[in-house]
């Protein structure tokens, strides 16, 4: 286990270095921030000074080395636009995104797995077919359109829920969260559903496929032959086997929900990281974009590690070993 962790850390370090190079070069290529930041009427001396201040007069490799050496000290640069440390800007908005992502994941797990299992167990009946048809809708309706429809139905017509924003927040361990206040919870519901719909559809399909495979296994029949109750057969024997693929996919999806909740955050004016990313890209605010992407790489690596560990807990045949296969 320890050897495994060390090997994983080493792999993670390489991933981060490669990602840093790619991100840096990619961002450098997409345009000149001076055009956006400084008014075209400014005189050449002012422009010159700004370029020097932002470090843009240096060659790319010098900028990169500076970036790396700063990054190692925990400094991912200062936003051109906000004139604040980029990392702090992102971290400030992270709780909102995380809260939304966690809410969406929980929804998709607690809706998707039961629905998927029902669809698998009753695959030849109307219930199963209905669930599958609904999951196709969840898959194929564009996210932004779903969001707008949700706003129209529940906020505009019915007037039950607010259409955007985060609502009241209370600090939990010093981090502001919405879900502990009624107002915040009401604000959370629609964006969480919007973000969860696609994931739920995915989980439903995975759980259904898993159920249909597992239900034919001898060990399920053997469990029945032992006289074990149907409830236990489904909730213990089948569920635990189904969770293995579901956990893998959900782990990866959790990363992408955190990283790319952009559309939902935009539609529901949710003050999260995604919105910051879009604004920063539009403003060519390089340090923020780079810091954001580096943070996301880190999050993905972390999630993958957690998935591997959960996987080994679920499936006793998987043992985390230090040796590469």
Partner 1 sequence: MTAAVLEIRGLRTWFFTRAGIVRAVDGVDLEIAPGEVLGLVGESGSGKSITGFSVLGLIDPPGRITEGSIRFRGEELVGAPEARLRQLRGAHVAMIFQDPMMTLNPVLRIDTQMIEAVLAHRDMRRAEARALCADALRRVGIPAPEERLKAYPHQLSGGMRQRVAIAIALLHDPALIIADEPTTALDVTIQAQILYEVQKLCAETGTSLLWITHDLAVVAGIADRIAVMYAGQIVEQGPAAEVIGRPLHPYTLALLESVPSHNRRGQPLRQIPGMAPSPLALPAGCRFRPRCSRAGERCHEPPPVSMPEAGREVRCFHPCNRPPPEKTEAAPEPDRRISRPSSRPSPGAG
Determine contact, residues 53/60, Cβ cutoff 8 Å: no
What residues contact 208, with CB distance under 8 A and at least 6 apart?
116, 117, 119, 120, 123, 128, 131, 132
Distance CA 27, CA 24 (A): 5
Stretch binding partner 1 (CB under 8 A), from 82-90, 138-146, 277-285, 309-317: 309-317
Binding mask 160-199 for partner 1 (x = CB under 8 A): ----------------------------------------
Distance CA 271, CA 100 (A): 10
Distance CA 227, CA 244 (A): 26
Binding mask 258-297 for partner 1 (x = CB under 8 A): ----------------------------------------
User: 16, 34, 228, 310: which one contacts partner 1 (CB under 8 A)?
Assistant: 228
CB of 213 to partner 1, least distance (A): 13
Q: Does the protein bind partner 1 through residue 321 (CB under 8 A)? A: no
Distance CA 249, CA 258 (A): 14
Distance CA 197, CA 263 (A): 13
Q: Does the protein bind partner 1 through residue 244 (CB under 8 A)? A: yes
Question: Hey, which residues between 124 and 153 contact partner 1 (CB under 8 A)?
Answer: 124
Which residue, 238 or 294, has its beta carbon nearer to partner 1?
238
DSSP string, 61-100: HHHHHHHHHHHHTT---B-TTT-SBHHHHHHHHHHHHHHH
Which residue, 218 or 325, has its beta carbon nearer to partner 1?
218
CB of 325 to partner 1, least distance (A): 17
User: 39, 317, 324, 325: which one contacts partner 1 (CB under 8 A)?
Assistant: 317
Radius of gyration of the chain (CA): 24
Task: Write phi, then psi, for 175 (nearest 5 degrees).
Answer: -110, 130
CB of 321 to partner 1, least distance (A): 15
User: 40, 74, 159, 316: which one contacts partner 1 (CB under 8 A)?
Assistant: 316
What residues contact 232, with CB distance under 8 A and at least 6 apart?
223
Binding mask 85-124 for partner 1 (x = CB under 8 A): ---------------------------------------x
Contact positions vs partner 1 (CB under 8 A): 124, 216-230, 232, 236-237, 240-241, 244, 314-317
């Amino acid at each position: 286990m320890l050897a495994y962790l060390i090997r994983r850390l080493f792999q993670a370090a390489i991933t981060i270095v490669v990602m840093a190079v790619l991100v840096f070069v990619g961002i450098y290529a997409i345009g000149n921030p001076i055009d956006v930041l400084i008014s075209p009427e400014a005189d050449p001396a002012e422009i010159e000074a700004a370029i020097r201040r932002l470090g843009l007069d240096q060659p790319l490799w010098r900028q990169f080395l500076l970036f790396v050496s700063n990054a190692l000290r925990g400094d991912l640069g200062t936003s051109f636009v906000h004139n604040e440390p980029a990392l702090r800007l992102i971290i400030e908005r992270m709780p909102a995104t995380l809260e939304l992502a966690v809410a969406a994941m929980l929804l998709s797990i607690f809706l998707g797995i039961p629905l998927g299992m029902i669809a698998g167990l009753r695959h030849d009946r109307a219930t199963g077919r209905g669930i599958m048809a609904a999951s196709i809708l969840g898959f194929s309706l564009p996210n932004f359109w779903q969001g707008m429809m949700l706003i129209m139905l529940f906020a505009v017509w019915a007037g039950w829920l607010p259409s955007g924003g985060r609502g009241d927040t209370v600090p939990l361990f010093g981090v502001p969260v919405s879900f502990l206040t009624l107002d915040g919870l009401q604000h959370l519901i629609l964006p969480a559903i919007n973000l969860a719909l696609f994931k739920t559809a995915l989980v439903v399909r995975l759980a259904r496929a898993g159920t249909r495979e597992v239900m034919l296994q001898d060990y399920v029949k053997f469990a029945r032959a032992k006289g074990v109750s149907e409830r236990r057969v489904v909730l213990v024997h089948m569920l635990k086997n189904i969770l293995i693929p579901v956990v893998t996919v959900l782990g990866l999806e959790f990363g992408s929900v955190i990283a790319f909740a952009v559309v939902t955050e935009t539609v529901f004016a949710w003050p999260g990281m995604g919105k910051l990313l879009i604004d920063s890209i539009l403003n060519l605010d390089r340090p923020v974009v780079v810091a954001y992407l580096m943070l996301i790489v880190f999050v993905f690596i972390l999630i993958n590690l957690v998935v591997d560990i959960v996987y080994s807990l679920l499936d006793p045949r998987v043992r985390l070993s230090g040796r590469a296969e």
